[in-house]
Amino acid sequence: MPGFYRKKRRKVGPSKNDEKVLRGRQAEAETRAAGTLSSRFPGARALSVRLSIVSPQGVVLDEREVSLGADDPFQIDIDCPGRCGSGNFDFSDFVSEALERREESGQVEASCGEPLYGGGPDLCGCVARCEFSAEFAAS
């Protein structure tokens, strides 16, 4: 006597692969929209950026150094590796304002304001630091 089997319901919406392709296209579009270093700042030849993220307990979670040439896309952001799981630090605005003033170096830090869990009162609290040094063409 055969048992009762229900047909499997089909998932409504895009597949995982479609979502992955869409995320890749969005990232590519953001890169194109950001422009290159030389197109946004004609006098800038090179940019070196050091990013580090420290947990509220003082543990270094991530450190990276990015070097941008004149033809590289101008994007300076890093995801928060803390417990929130969804934080993002974008330092592009700070660095672009400094480059418009033709500052050769600078630093800034920001704190992650994402909640640890959905709707909770506790915040992630990770601190990201950005230090940059720029090289300008002689004018």
Domains and CATH numbers, the chain: 36-136 (3.10.50)
pLDDT at 88: 87
Residue 25, Ramachandran bin (φ over 0: left; ψ between -120 and 50: alpha; else beta): alpha
The residues facing 108 across adjacent strands are 130
Summarised one tens digit per residue, pLDDT across range 30-88 is 877 777 888 888 888 889 999 999 998 999 999 999 898 888 888 888 888 888 878 88
* 2 confidence band (pLDDT: 50, 70, 90): low
Structure tokens at 94: 């700070």
Q: How many helices (H) and strands (E) does the chain have?
A: 3, 6
The two most distant CA atoms of the chain are separated, in Å, by 89
| Mean pLDDT (whole number) for 83-105 | 87
pLDDT at 101 over 80: yes
pLDDT at 11: 75
pLDDT at 94 over 70: yes
Mean pLDDT, the chain, integer: 86
pLDDT at 122 over 90: no
Rounded to the nearest 5 percent, the helix, strand and coil shares of the chain are 25, 35, 45
* 139 confidence band (pLDDT: 50, 70, 90): low
Cα–Cα dist 41/72, whole Å: 12
pLDDT at 97 over 80: yes
Structure tokens at 21: 């392709």
| Mean pLDDT (whole number) for 88-112 | 89
